[in-house]
Amino acid sequence: MRNVLVTGASRGIGRAVAIAFATNGHRVAVHYGSSRVDGEATLALLPGDGHALVTGDLADPAQAAEIGRSAAEQLGTIDVLVNNAAVAPTAANLHRIADVSYENWQAAWRQTIDVNLLGATNLTYCVARGLIAAGIAGTIINVGSRGAFRGEPDYPAYGASKAALHAFGQSMAIALAPHNIAVASVAPGFISTDRQAGKLAGSQGDDIRDQSPFGRVGTPEEVAAAVLYLASPEAAWASGSILDLNGASYLRS
């Protein structure tokens, strides 16, 4: 049994990841940002005992540290960190360079980088230092994106934040290997989360599904299965890798 902290676990991919770990006998700290109701809903879905609920704004360095401290206090240790929480592309943070004001351009970049990149780096620091101090082997998994490779012209801050997260993960894979801490990333394509249900049901749905030769989009459970494997001790030799999970919708060399 391992103790796992999953950020952004109140819905979507994060919820599926939390459920996958709990189903396989691990204890999970469920992190939520703003919706306690959704966080508690995830917690209620987890089989087994000893799970925990933690909250905090990852954009705030002090709160990021408190998330790690609270999770470790409730679980005893954190053996696995899954950096999943992110500011995702929405109509509210659309920032096409030809259309958006300079003020809104800056706001989109600041919010996205603060959560998607710096929130993950700060929490990684806190968890890794705890593992090093305790002399415990561990794993850190970053949830990146296909957009890091193919580009996000309508949401460039999102694509850049995920590319930086992938690069950060590879740097940490080298830095933390001497401490028996493995670090890997997954890069999902379009995933059928609740947040994307409207888009998939609308006029864009068929075009989105046709991006993959499988004629569909991925599921949160498929991402969770990959995270579960990469976080296992047996996958330590995959440290430094970035696993594409996009149904062959984007192939990179």
Distance CA 97, CA 2 (A): 44
* Helix ranges restricted to H, the chain: 12-23, 36-45, 61-75, 102-112, 120-134, 147-150, 156-176, 197-201, 205-209, 220-230
Instruction: Choose, from 32, 162, 192, 239, the residue flagged as catalytic.
Output: 162
Distance CA 22, CA 125 (A): 24
Instruction: Choose, from 158, 185, 192, 249, the residue flagged as catalytic.
Output: 158
Instruction: Choose, from 70, 145, 185, 239, the residue flagged as catalytic.
Output: 145
Exposed, middle or buried by CB within 10 Å (0-12, 13-18, 19+), for 167? middle
Quick check: is 162 catalytic?
yes
Quick check: is 158 catalytic?
yes
> What is the DSSP pairing of strand 27-32 with strand 242-245?
unpaired
Q: Is the dihedral of CA 216, 224, 93, 41 positive or negative?
A: positive
Collapsing DSSP states into helix, strand and coil, what is residue 34?
Answer: coil
Distance CA 61, CA 25 (A): 31
**Residue 7 φ/ψ, nearest 5 degrees:** -85, 150
Q: Which tokens hold the place of 3? A: 């103790």
List active site positions. Answer: 145, 158, 162
